[in-house]
Amino acid sequence: MIAVESLRIAVQGILSNRLRSLLTMLGVTIGVASVIILVAVGNGSSAAVQSQLEALGTNVLTVFAARGGFGPFGRGGGRSTVGTQSRSSGLTMKDVTALQKRQNGPDLKSVNPVVNAQPTVTYQGATYQPGQFVGTTAGYFEAENFHVASGRLFTQADVANHSPVVVLGQTVVQNLFGTADPLGETIAVNGVQFQVIGVLATKGNQGLQNQDDVASAPITIVQASLTGVSGTLNQIVVEAKSRKVTSLAEQEITTTLLSTHKITNGEPDFQVLNQASFISASNASQHTFTVLLGAVAAISLLVGGIGVMNIMLVTVTERTREIGIRKAIGARRAHIIGQFMTEAVLLSMIGGLIGVGAGIAGSRFEIIGIQPVVATYSVVLAFCVSAAVGLLFGIYPAGRAAALRPIEALRYE
Amino acid sequence: MTTGRRPLLAVLKVTKSYAMGTQVVHALRGVTLGVAAGDYVAIMGASGSGKSTLMHILGCLDVPDRGRYLLDGVDVRYLEDDELAEIRNRKIGFVFQSFNLIPRTSAAQNVELPLVYAGVKRRNRRLRALEALARVGLANRVHHLPSELSGGQQQRVAIARALVSDPTVLLADEPTGNLDSRSTTEVLEVFDDLNREGRTVVLITHERDVADHARRVIVLRDGRVVQDERRRPLVEAVA
């Protein structure tokens, strides 16, 4: 009964000074809305980064011939030999064959050798040097998340037949052909004729690297005509069966290559790069970013709470006489505290509710190029905090009201 | 009951002083008086005579420095704030000079308020409030706000509020001080009626003609009782 009565009195108090109540609520509203929006922005940017990273291929593991226990950073066979460990072969087709054996890599979907060339490409007088010229096998495209925009990708048969065919990225196409259709045309790669059979869909920039500035041809023909058949590979691009098994796949690769490289001292002469671990690392940093944004917004919620306290103190002073009357006719401390606490909590909760609405509405718009994604937890948390803010900042004014001496309160004009 | 019964209100050698700036004001310098059930007492005195302080003590808004005050046999001196609040709620009905209704709150809700604090259920509360308003002749002003009522009507709402919890004593502090003569007559009639029905009434006034309504007139000067005169016989209170 007394709770209902407190609520009624509180509503009356809020309504009796509408503008002031509204302005007080505004502080809490802005606080709650900014928590929701900023956390949503953090969330949205993290989702954007995530999807960018996923465009790289989430199941991909890249094996590099890398520094051994000692020598400098070396590639292929060109590393110096220091100390006792003179054996280093880099990556070879033997490694690829070993990895392709099912019993060695049950979690591997495809194993693709990669050789890189830096050729100059010409077409009817136009000359261009692609950022990447990759000789590889057919599974590479799926592993690296490349899709075909027109024409076709090369196949395993093309690889087996040493077919002089090439697939071009959008940037390369623009530089060589302008707006003309490149399909079926023949280009010269360091003087060797290749037929353009496909154009890749655009992937956009990834960090510093333009993912569209790429050309790719079967590894057999690239080795035969451009890099030489020395047998060393620049990378092996492995696709795991799913994102979940990337760590298992990493282990399988390591075990297999340690054995093909006859390494027993546990210091591999290769490096396995796991894309999934990149993603989780970036997730962690994105999370920090989101928390930081939320914390900044929480401060504004605190400021809103101080606004509530300020107004409640004014209200208590204004209603000193009323408090005196209530005490004279029998209100106890708890009644007075209840009345003013209810009013403070109600003020901040209504403000919080409006803030939730404003925050969700505001998160529908793109902010600094990021489409915010509202986090449910931030909505619940912000609202609960707004109610708690009312409680916290209502205690002091309510306590002041309850502590008033009835005679003095009655005399107050 | 007999005339020799224990008084309803017993004030024994009560002193009260308070600081006003650097000066100590001795408001009451040893007041002893008893008020029997069913009596109608007017307390008179010039301003500064201590009559308001006495009223605060009688109403349990304040406690004496020295001496004892027994309300219905209970010594209030050592009671906690909340216990005093409960006594004010159940045993005392206040009527103030400036009406002291809660603004923006209807007449009925104002009258209900003491019952709210007493924890009376809503339906019962409403019923009793309407009864009390009818008792002071305001049955047709139940939903009016204080700002929509005349001074006399506001004071009658205040009387209804004082009555609603069926208190032991009605205390009125200059109840007609802010009223014109017609409203004064209205309000005093209500007090007279209530007393005839057996209600104990103590009122403070500095107006002779108001005091003339009472059965007993007490005059205070400088914190002491200087005159205590019975005007009309005390009738037995209706139990």
Instruction: Quote the CA–CA distance of A152 and A159 in Å, as a whole number.
Output: 14
- Phi and psi for B60 in degrees, rounded to 5? 60, 25
pLDDT digits (tens, 9 = 90+) for A375-410: 888 899 888 988 898 898 999 999 999 998 888 888
Stretch among A65-69, A98-102, A365-369, B161-165 having the lowest mean pLDDT: A65-69
Query: Do the Cβ atoms of B96 and A410 come within 8 Å?
Result: yes
Model confidence, pTM: 0.71
What is the residue-wise DSSP string for B37-77? Answer: TT-EEEEE--TTSSHHHHHHHHTTSS--SEEEEEETTEE-T
Asked whether the beta carbons of A273 and A62 are under 8 A apart, the reply is yes
Contacts of A196 (CB under 8 A, 6+ apart): A151, A165, A166, A167, A168, A182, A183, A184, A185, A186, A187
- The whole-number pLDDT of residue A226 equals 85
For residues A53-66, average pLDDT: 77
Amino acid code (one letter) for A190: N
Higher pLDDT, A130 or A52: A130
Determine the pLDDT at residue A84.
41
Task: Identify which has the larger pLDDT, B32 or A270.
Answer: B32
Amino acid of residue A185: E
How far CA A41 is from CA of A286, A295, A353, A368, in Å, comes to 11, 13, 20, 9
Chain A: residue nearest B87 by CA?
Answer: A330
Tell me the mean pLDDT in the region A195-204. Answer: 87
Look at residue A87 in the predicted model and tell me its pLDDT: 46
Chain A's closest residue to B93, CA to CA, is A329
Residue B239 confidence (pLDDT): 44
Q: Between chain A and chain B, how many beta carbons pairs sit less than 8 Å apart?
A: 67
Q: Is the pLDDT of residue A218 over 90?
A: yes
Query: Residue A362 pLDDT > 80, yes or no?
Result: yes
Phi, psi of A123 (to 5 degrees): -145, 115
Q: Which of A1, A12, A332 sits opposite B121 (nearest CB)?
A: A1
Dmax over Cα atoms in chain A, in whole Å?
105
The percent of residues in chain A predicted with pLDDT above 90, rounded, is 26
How close does chain A come to B210, measured CA to CA in Å? 23
Which pLDDT value is given to residue B236?
57
Q: Which residues of A touch B116 (CB under 8 A)?
A: 1-2, 5
Contacts with B95 (C-beta within 8 Å, 6 or more apart), sequence order: B155, B158, B159, B162, B170, B171, B172, B173, B175, B203
Please determine, for residue A75, whether its predicted confidence score (pLDDT) is greater than 50.
no
Which residues of A are less than 8 Å from B117 in CB distance?
A: 2, 326, 329-332, 335
Q: Looking at chain B, how many residues does it have?
A: 239
H or E, element range at A44: helix A18-55
What average pLDDT does chain A have? 84
CA–CA distance, A94 with B173 (Å, rounded to integer) = 109
Determine the topology of domain B37-61+80-230 in CATH: Rossmann fold (3.40.50)
pLDDT under 70: residue ranges of chain B: 1-5, 235-239
A1 touches chain B (CB under 8 A): yes
Encode pLDDT of A77-97 as tens digits. Answer: 333 434 444 345 688 888 888
Pairwise CB contact (< 8 Å): B89 & A328: no
Q: Do B121 and A330 touch (CB under 8 A)?
A: no
Query: Residue A112: beta bridge partners?
Result: A237
Phi and psi, residue B146, nearest 5°: -50, -40
Q: Give the ipTM of the model, two decimals please.
A: 0.92
Query: For residue A327, what is the nearest residue in chain B, using CA coordinates?
Result: B85
Residue A138 has pLDDT above 80, yes or no: yes
A321 has a chain B CB within 8 A of its CB: yes
What is the reported pLDDT for B85?
A: 94
Residue A71: what pLDDT?
37
- Asked if A5 reaches chain B (Cβ–Cβ under 8 Å), the answer is yes
* Contact criterion met (CB < 8 Å) for A333 and B82: yes
CA geometry: angle A388, A389, A391, nearest 5 deg: 60
Task: Please name the residue of chain B whose CA is at the shortest distance from the CA of residue A6.
Answer: B116
Question: Residue A218's closest CA among A286, A157, A129?
Answer: A157
A407 contacts on B by Cβ (under 8 Å): 56, 61-62
**pLDDT band for position A204 (50/70/90)?**
low
For A328, which of B81, B88, B120 is closest by C-beta distance?
B88
CB-based burial, A270-306: b 16+ in 10 Å, e otherwise: bebebbbeebeeeeeebeebbeebbeebbebbbebbe
Chain B CA closest to residue A323: B102
Exposed e or buried b for every residue in A94-113, given b needs 16+ CB within 10 A? ebbebbeeeebbebbbbbbb
| Structure confidence at residue A69 (pLDDT) | 41
Q: A145, A55 in Cβ contact below 8 A?
A: yes
Across the range A271-285, mean pLDDT stands at 78
Closest CA to B79 of B97, A111, B87: B87
Q: How far is CA B106 from the centre of its chain?
A: 22
pLDDT band at A294 (very low <50, low <70, confident <90, very high): confident
Alpha-carbon distance of B82 to A402, in angstroms, equals 11
